[in-house]
Every structure is written in C-alpha cells, then in structure tokens.
Structure 1
C-alpha cells in the first residue's frame, strides 16, 4: 500500500504531491485543512515512503492512478475530494475523469504543454536538477543548513525557498534523489492531458504566477481544455506554492472542496 497520513474530520480530502516530492510538501497547509476536512496525505509510488512504481506496459501515470484507486478502496474512500500539485494535480484530474473524485483543486497541474519544445523544456530542467543533486549529495546537509544553500537548491520550485527549514529542505532533497527512476520513466514520454472532465465535478485550476517548471502560459491551455473549471493565479508563488503562501493555498483548497452531494452508484 502507498504510504499515507490521515488527520482531521469532515469530508475526505486526498492530497497528492508532484513528481520528486513527498507528502510532507503539504505540511504547511495540512493543519488548516484538517480543521474542516478529513485529510489524507499520500506519498505517490516511488516517492517518500511508498513502494516503487509497479512495472507494466501502461504509461506510468495510468499505473499511478491504478495504485491510487487501490488505496481509495483500501481506505474506504468513495469519491473523495482531491487536491494535487503538478503531477498530483494531473492525477487528480485523471481520477475525476474516471468518476473517482468528488472535486479537484489542481495547483499548476502537469500535462498542459502542447508542443515538443514545451515538454523538452520541463524534462531538461528536471534532468539538470537531478544531475546537480546527485553531484551535491555528499554536501547537501551542510549546504541546506544555510539560507544561501536552500535558495540555490530550491529556487526552481519555491519563490521563497529560505522559508523551508533545514530539516524539511534536506528531506525534500533526499526525496528528490529517491524518485530518480520514476522521473526517468515519466520523462521518456510526452503525453499531454486529454481526458474529458465530467461537467458536474467542481474543478479549480490555480496556477503559480512565478512557476519556472510549468510556466504560467500553460494556464491558457488549461482554460481552453477545462472550460467549466474556475481558473485563478496564485500571485508571488513558485511551482510548489504550499510553502510560499500557505493561507492562500489552504483557503483555495477548502473552497474547491466545498461539501457536495455524493453521487450514488447506479
């Protein structure tokens, strides 16, 4: 089973992090969310404390969705609300397209590139970061104890990287290295998001204004493909916005996961 934490009370809300991250990415907002929701923070396959992505001929995203559906069944979650960042946002949208999510709040979701050059930009960025992280691994603990080190190693995903604690930064750094096989597999293909969303599933797409990983212009594609969604910009935030503006992110997710009637299975 995938590693997870469960806290709070209310309608269930599953939180999905992005590629190379871990469930602790949600810690800056989890307590606020848990005041009104039952929050389930999940480590995706091959990330954090979860087992590696299962082998198979299907694309890696499909296998991750299958693992999440297995987790929902194991935990007795019937169409939970889902909030996700980056890859997690895309997975949330894919779950909703399958009828498995009650609502989705997607923070800079992956899959809205539309040209090979746009995809190559993001893939090349991750490959460069992974190579640099591998070279710096022996020195990471010392570097991340300094504000300058945290700024240098996390500027690409956070607009305020020095707000990370040294302990959180080191955990994220080690998590990034642990996810190298999944990064390699994901960036071996460039399939964009094409699923058709049910019109009755509430969706908020919130794009980080200072996103260097999935640039803000991709939000225009999301507006076209998801015309029934609410589209907003998170001012001043980087690609992983939970640490940059916890209050705004938490209130956006609470609004996106407002209680809704549960659809009865026919």
Structure 2
C-alpha cells in the first residue's frame, strides 16, 4: 500500500583484527546482558575497547543501535517481537549506557565508531548482520551499509539528512535535554516519572506517546542521558556530518515518524533522494524514537527490512 502527503510513494508499515573476551550475566526473564572487549588500532598503538550489549533470540543476526544520549533499552519495546525471528544484539554505543568511552587515542566520530562496530561484530563472531538504528544509530547503520559491513539497513529517523538550520535546532534541543537531565535531582526525576504528565515533561521531545513509558524506563533513560560520557564529543563531531552517498550494495529502509519533533520528517524525503533504491516508510503517530510509540509497527518494518 502507498500513501502520499509529503512523501513520494511512501510505504506504510516501513577492517579491524580483534582479540575478544566476553563476560555475560544471564537473566531468565530478560535478554542476556554481556560485555565484550576487543583490540582496535589507534595512532598510539592498539587499544582495548569494551562494549555492553544484550542478546536474545534465534535466526539471522540483527544489530540494534540507539541514538545519542540514549541506551540499548530504547529497543526494549520491540526486542521480544524481533527475537522471534532474529538473533537480536542490542548495543550500548561506546560512551553511552553501560559501555565505557573509547580509550585514549580513539575519537567518538563516524570514522572511528563505524570500524569499532565492525570490530565488535567480528569479536562476537557475527558476519555481516542486519542492522537497525535510530537517530545517531540510524546514521551509523547507513555508514555500516555504505562500507558493506552489513547485509541490510533499517534506519529510523536517521541523523545526517538535515539542513544547517535543522541541525542547529536539533542540537540545541539535545543540549537542552542533556542540561536538564544533569541538573534535575534524582528524587525529582523519580517523582516526575510516576505520572503521565511528568513522563511527558521528561520525554515528549522524543516520544509521541510518552505515557507508554514505564516510570522505571524514564528514570533509567534520564540517567543515561545525564551520564553519557561520549555525549559532548559525539555531538561536536556531528556538526560537520551530512550523509550524501547512495548505498546500492545492500537493501535500505528509511522510516520516519509523522510526529518526530527532533528531526522533521521532510528529512526522510531527502534521504530517499540520496538513496533512490531505499524503501521510505511513514510511521503514523510516531515520534523520534518510534519503538516506544508503536512497537508492532516498528518491529514489522525492521523485520520486513531485514528479509
């Protein structure tokens, strides 16, 4: 089925050598949480990077990448659905969530983080996984596709298709969110999270339906934003980012929420112009982080995009 209205023919649904060590904390009711450490080169010689992730399910591997200031739990609303058909690996990007920042000599920019993610896959024994990413994670997913490190890409509201004005607006909002998260005392965050109005005050910039988030999830993601070690460096590196390359070698799906308040949906049209073979999907009623707003729809888009 196709629709119109801002989207031209839019579907609605929508090398590094490593030596790795892995430690895991299994939980019967939740995806296996683990960390993996692996060697990556730097201008000062080999360094050890450590990444935290959760893994669950069976099938072809699917790597999930979150946005700036978030953590892998952003994908929790869809993980169980995805895990029925995929071996799901939800990653805390370096310097976010439970993953420490990259070691000295490694910058938190695209030219470094993309090969680090490739090295992560090698360390986990994953060859060319499918990848789905949101926001910064969507941009990283597209870069992985451009480098032919993955077999398919699903990018949800990916960064990098903005005008200078749109980028400055988004970065201003992100910096304000970060400042607020760092200034609010934890008891205040916990109190706000207990009501729908409070959850909206904390998260309505990224969710169209903030009331769907649990109080515990809102507290955890507010702390993740406040404590993200790589936030400032990642944001600074993004000031010169513009995605301008086609990705002819792998299937690409780009999906955008109709209520995205951070990266406006016309950026999806630009993405389609730059990647003409991409499937452009409209996510009705969804905000910038659509996994929360319509889990069934987003899971379907990701599964369809990774077939």
* TM-score normalised over the length of structure 2: 0.80
> How far off its partner does 1:132 sit?
1.6
Deviation at 1:222, TM superposition (A): 0.6
Is the 2:95–2:231 Cα contact (8 Å) retained in structure 1? no
**Structure 2 contact 102–108 (Cα < 8 Å) conserved:** no
> How far does the alpha carbon of each residue in 1:230-250 deviate from its partner, in whole angstroms, 9 at most, with x for none?
111101001000010000000
Q: What's the counterpart of residue 262 of structure 1?
A: none
CA distance in 1, matches of 2:105, 2:177: 27
Corresponding residue number in structure 2 for 1:226: 275
Aligned match of 2:82 = 33
Residue of 211, 232, 237 corresponding to 2:260: 211
Q: Distance in 2 between matches of 1:228 and 1:46?
A: 33
Q: Following superposition of structure 1 onto structure 2, how do residues 145-160 of structure 1 map, counting pairs within 5 Å?
A: 145-160=194-209
Task: Give the structure 1 partner of residue 101 of structure 2.
Answer: 52
Contact 2:57 2:86 in 1 (8 A): yes
Tell me the alpha carbon deviations over residues 65-115 of structure 1, each in whole angstroms, 9 at most, x when there is no partner: 122111101011111000000000100000111110100000000011132
Is it true that 1:14 corresponds to 2:63 in the alignment?
yes
**SS in structure 2 at match of 1:111:** coil
Bigger proportion of residues as strand: 2
How big is each residue's C-alpha offset from its partner over 1:168-221, in whole Å with a ceiling of 9 and x where there is no partner? Answer: 111111101111x42211222422333534413000000111111111121121
Is this contact kept in 2: 1:88–1:109, CA < 8 A? Answer: yes
Residue 249 of structure 1 aligns with which residue?
A: 298
Given candidates 226, 230, 254, the residue that maps to 1:177 is 226
What is the aligned length?
256
1:125 aligns with 2:179: no
Q: Report the TM-score when normalising by structure 1.
A: 0.92
TM alignment of 1:157-168, pairs within 5 A? 157-168=206-217
Whichever of the two has the greater Rg, that structure is 2
> Unaligned stretches of 5+ in structure 1?
259-266
Q: Which runs of 5+ in 2 are unaligned?
A: 1-49
* SS class of match (2:236): coil
Structure 2 residue aligned with 1:264: none
Conservation of the 8 A alpha-carbon contact between 2:204 and 2:210: yes
User: Against the structure 1 CA distance between its residues 55 and 231, is the aligned structure 2 distance closer, same or farther, given a 3 Å change threshold?
Assistant: farther
Inter-partner Cα distance in structure 1 for 2:211 and 2:102: 31
